[in-house]
Amino acid sequence: TKCGFLYRALGFTLATGLEADKVEVLLLELLYKTDYGNDFDREGVILCFGLCARGQVKTVLNVLHDFEERIQESEQSWQIGAWRKDHPWRRETVKSALMVMYSCVASYCHPQMLLTHVDNPITAKIIHHYSSSCQDICLKMAFMKSVVQVTTAIKNIKDLEDFQFAQKMTLTGIIIATIKAEPTDSLVSPVRTMAMEALSHLSNLKPFYSTEESNELMDISIHSVISLQPPAEDNESIQTLYANAKHALEQLMEGLMQRQLDPKGLQEMVHLLEKWILSEKEGEREKAMNLHLHLLQIYVQSIGVCIPLKLGQFGTLVGLIAPCTCDSHRRTR
């Protein structure tokens, strides 16, 4: 659209054409004049800041910091800038926009500048805005989107060498808490799916999760998804959420399994599924067996060479699965 083009053009122009102080004035004015309740305006400004960061990342970060300082006095109130009669800003809407703005800056800025700024201020500010908010569904989704954007930007850098993402465990803790807070008997938003996708992206960055940490992530994620009731056939939106949640769980477990691709790692993963495979509920058994089968297939495809199981390991695997061949539930059999 015409307006979208203007935001994009403005971002490109500010990235290359003006002195930093003039760019600061223009960007700050843009932040103040944006109607954050309008999806198009908000997304346009976010894109503009990202594009501008290609050539003016320090300036962009300074402007965001300046803006945050100026609105901080009213941050505790429900409305930020409530003195604006045309469109007062809802606090959570602004925080949501700022989080994604920081992650958009990460997506577009020069790789070397990203490594310099990604932990602080970029990720630190994303964490701040999330932690100091009411954490409604929209904000949770914006946070997960930001994490994925930042981690993708880091992963896309060719010469990462030994870069350690210092904020990784803080982000992981927030995401785990979010997954735990999701109801295990109902599915009303894509939050848990986005959270598992964020964990999948984080798992690819150093410092890598320990075996214990990986097992905890998998255990919490399994518990969040496997107890969900299959949605009614006529409810397409919930069906999509349900399918996406199962897929995100598969992807997360698959990614974490790749870090310990040996019989011990396989056995630990199977152990996490054991209580669900032995569940009294048909739906839980079916989902657990499907997940178990998927991971076994990935394991066999990935190892390339045959790593012999230790004495007792094969028997344990067979002993767990064998009774399921007589399961009363046809799909589990």
**Per-residue pLDDT tens for 173-218?**
999 999 999 998 889 999 999 999 999 999 999 999 999 999 999 9
Choose among 192, 174, 194: nearest CA to 183.
Answer: 192
First-to-last alpha carbon distance for the chain, in angstroms, is: 53
pLDDT digits (tens, 9 = 90+) for 109-152: 999 999 999 999 999 999 999 998 888 999 999 999 999 999 99
Q: What is the DSSP string of 43-57?
A: HHHHHHHHHHHHHHH
Question: What's the CA gap between 272 and 288, in Å, rounded?
Answer: 10
Question: What's the CA gap between 247 and 193, in Å, rounded?
Answer: 8
pLDDT confidence band for 268 (50 / 70 / 90): confident
Q: In the predicted model, what is the mean pLDDT of the chain?
A: 84
Question: What's the CA gap between 310 and 300, in Å, rounded?
Answer: 16
What residues contact 64, with CB distance under 8 A and at least 6 apart? 31, 49, 98, 101, 102, 105, 125
How would you class 105 by CB atoms within 10 Å of its CB: exposed for 0-12, middle for 13-18, buried for 19 or more? buried
Task: Return the biggest CA–CA distance within the chain.
Answer: 74
The per-residue b/e assignment along 86-101, b for 16 or more CB within 10 angstroms, e otherwise, is eebbbbbbbbbbbbbb
- The answer to whether the beta carbons of residues 143 and 99 sit under 8 Å apart is yes
